[in-house]
Amino acid sequence: MRDVAYVALGSNLGDRDAHLARGRAGLAALPRSRVIAYSAVEETAPLGPAGQRPYLNQMAALETELTPRELLAALLAIEASAGRTRGERWGARTLDLDIVAMREQRSADPDCRVPHPELSNRDFWRRELDELGAHDIR
């Protein structure tokens, strides 16, 4: 099944621009997938623990044949290649890639929820989705 996935990219550690570029390159190299469009990059205040640098955020529209679980595994591998380590929840990170939503597919898997459970709480995600023409994704 061919679907469109909306993937959020974020970084607030190190060279944020370079980390987003690495994330975009990783998305472009995904099997059975092609990037359709990217939103503009925007800087946002961090969510979570105090003392973090601001984030650079961007949204990608990705045409894909991958299931949510397959896409998540690929995104985790891209994060790891950018030096992402998992520690404090909502802590600082080199690269964060989240499946925000998919046009056709849903997932209630606790480790891979689609649409993302935080979608309604992230104004910048909604702005970026709107920029990509995904006004109906909520």
Active site residues: 84, 93, 96, 98
Distance from C-alpha of 9 to C-alpha of 63, rounded to nearest angstrom: 16
- Do residues 3 and 105 touch, judged by C-beta distance below 8 A? yes
Place of tokens 């006004």: 135
> Cα torsion at 11, 14, 20, 22 (round to 10°)?
-130
- Do residues 7 and 100 touch, judged by C-beta distance below 8 A? yes
- Report the b/e string of 74-98 with b at 16+ CB within 10 A: bbeebbeebebeeeeeeebbbbbbb
